[in-house]
Amino acid sequence: MSARGFAQAEYEARLTRAQALMSKAGLGGLLLTTEPEIRYFTGFLTRFWESPSRPWFLIVPAAGDPVAVIPSIGAALMGRTWITDIRTWPAPRPGDDGVSLLAATLDEVAEGPVGIPSGPETHLRMPQADFARLRAKTARFLRDDAGITARLRAVKSGAEIDRIAHACRIAARAFARVPEIAAPGMPLSQVFRRFQMLLLEEGADWVPYLAGGAGPLGYADVISPADDRPLARGDVLMLDTGALWDGYFCDYDRNFAMGTPDPRVLSAHDRLLGAAQAGLEAAQPGARACDVHAAMARICGADEGAGRLGHGLGMQLTEGLSLTAADRTVLEPGMVITLEPGVETGGGNILVHEENVVIRQGGAQILSPWADTLARLA
């Protein structure tokens, strides 16, 4: 896995599937504004989304190729994708930040109502004031996209799975080197920095996500940034990463015992491994997300704080289905998910464990090298 980018056929296939669904939903086009949505149909990959200053738009018409309506600063990069119809304006231009151009282009290329991703996990990446202006300017009716964009992205192609697997292997090599960077006395913030360096050294393009925690009985939550408190003998250290390669994420964690762990940590970790194994076995095509959740929750208990025991994974750290009791999404081959059980250890602490798998015809296939024991350091 070293060649970056997809063949044009990959994008053409995505477009064909989108247009079939749009036809069924009675949509004349899709209007996309966020990084993963626009990248899904174009391959436009840049870290420039970190800047909120400029809006970006992609129109996927019911017939014909997508049309990019973007700030001129992005024209060169978009010109290197398969998109040929690229219309630009000199953003930022607060008086009319692409709104007139977008409205005119929508009216030209979308023959019918225009769908905007509006369901769970979506947002509209443009100022609300500009959205009101757009609605006033375009002749097209703007409505929800009937979940089309999310549905397409939920099932990954072979090329997408290869990238996630590559990101998982990078993280595996970095996790194997944690003994080089973590020891009693070292501040957690320093461990976080060094772990990101390991991920980069092992081949990650960048590291959009790292969380973790450390303590004798685990950690109070799994979303806090690191503080400068030093690791202590007897702590269990957890590192949970989302590292990126060619625009695709891994998302899994590992726990490390600093010396001899508390017996409650050992037994909690065993339950986590058992729950992950149960999730792996339950994650068959045709099973529902809630079935996988139930298989894991039977062993680890459904942790209220963490809310869910896994989720979809791909161009975003989390996307698509949730392994909760309420999610009835049916697993299909090509879906990539995380198995992320959590257990309480006492005193308000939890221990979590996470693996990544892809749903295949015969059952789930492991992407993150499966952990079979609690690693010991120091």
8, 16, 90, 229: residue in contact with a copy of itself (rule CB under 8 A): 90
Closest CB to a copy of itself among 18 and 243? 243
1, 17, 48, 285: residue in contact with a copy of itself (rule CB under 8 A): 48
8, 20, 63, 119: residue in contact with a copy of itself (rule CB under 8 A): 119
Cβ of residue 306: shortest distance to a copy of itself, in angstroms? Answer: 6
347 lies in the site for a copy of itself, by CB under 8 A: no
**Segment 2-31, which members bind a copy of itself (CB under 8 A)?**
2, 4
Number of other CB atoms surrounding residue 65 within 10 Å? 16
50, 136, 361, 372: residue in contact with a copy of itself (rule CB under 8 A): 50
**DSSP state letter for 178:** G
Closest CB to a copy of itself among 129 and 330? 129
Q: Are 378 and 336 in contact (CB under 8 A)?
A: no
- Bridging pattern class, strands 236-245 and 252-258: antiparallel
Say which residues have a Cβ less than 8 Å from residue 95's Cβ, sequence separation at least 6.
none
Cβ of residue 9: shortest distance to a copy of itself, in angstroms? Answer: 21
7, 9, 13, 75: residue in contact with a copy of itself (rule CB under 8 A): 75
Cβ of residue 363: shortest distance to a copy of itself, in angstroms? Answer: 25
**Segment 135-164, which members bind a copy of itself (CB under 8 A)?**
144
Distance CA 239, CA 224 (A): 11
127, 230, 274, 334: residue in contact with a copy of itself (rule CB under 8 A): 127
114, 171, 222, 258: residue in contact with a copy of itself (rule CB under 8 A): 222
3-state secondary structure 99-115: HHHHHHHHHHHCCCCEE
113 lies in the site for a copy of itself, by CB under 8 A: no
Q: How far out from the chain centre does Cα 302 lie?
A: 22
E strands, 259-362, are 336-339, 342-346, 349-352, 355-360
125 lies in the site for a copy of itself, by CB under 8 A: yes
93 lies in the site for a copy of itself, by CB under 8 A: yes
**Amino acid identity for residue 300 in this structure:** C
204, 265, 309, 364: residue in contact with a copy of itself (rule CB under 8 A): 204
61, 71, 261, 310: residue in contact with a copy of itself (rule CB under 8 A): 71
Q: Which stretch in 17-25, 70-78, 283-291, 358-366 sits in contact with a copy of itself by CB under 8 A?
A: 70-78
Cβ of residue 35: shortest distance to a copy of itself, in angstroms? Answer: 10
Burial group, residue 236, by CB count within 10 angstroms (0-12, 13-18, 19+) = buried
φ/ψ (deg, to 5) at 279: -65, -40
308 lies in the site for a copy of itself, by CB under 8 A: yes
HSE-CB of 28 using CA atoms within 13 angstroms: 15
Say which residues have a Cβ less than 8 Å from residue 152's Cβ, sequence separation at least 6.
14, 17, 18, 21, 40
Say which residues have a Cβ less than 8 Å from residue 238's Cβ, sequence separation at least 6.
212, 213, 214, 218, 219, 222, 253, 254, 255, 256, 351, 352
**Segment 237-296, which members bind a copy of itself (CB under 8 A)?**
242
180 lies in the site for a copy of itself, by CB under 8 A: no
